């Protein structure tokens, strides 16, 4: 998703936490905007880790479960 599109979407709904969209890199991708930071604020993340890292995946799966989202 381009930064231009992300800015336009946030301008319409500034409280939006993020979106899921179809990506050319796989079946879907997730973009989290700054309002979502509070949802993960209690977690300590090393953002230098790859997305496949076990601790990061556990956090994403746990968060998705709390929100009622399915993760494949």
Check pLDDT > 80 for residue 8. Answer: yes
Domain ranges of the chain: 1-39, 41-72
Q: pLDDT tens-digit profile of 25-56? A: 667 777 777 766 666 655 555 556 676 777 77
Residue 40 near residue 22, CB atoms below 8 Å: no
Q: Is the pTM of this model over 0.95?
A: no
Note the pLDDT of residue 12.
92
pLDDT, the chain, mean: 76
Note the pLDDT of residue 37.
66
40 backbone dihedrals φ, ψ, rounded to 5°: -115, 10
């Amino acid at each position: 998703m381009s930064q231009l599109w992300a800015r336009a979407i946030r301008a319409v709904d500034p409280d939006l936490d993020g979106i899921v969209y179809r990506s050319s890199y796989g079946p879907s991708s997730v973009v989290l905007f700054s309002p979502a930071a509070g949802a993960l604020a209690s977690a300590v993340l090393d953002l230098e880790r790859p997305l496949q890292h076990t601790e990061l995946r556990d956090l994403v799966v746990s968060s998705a479960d709390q929100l009622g989202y399915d993760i494949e």
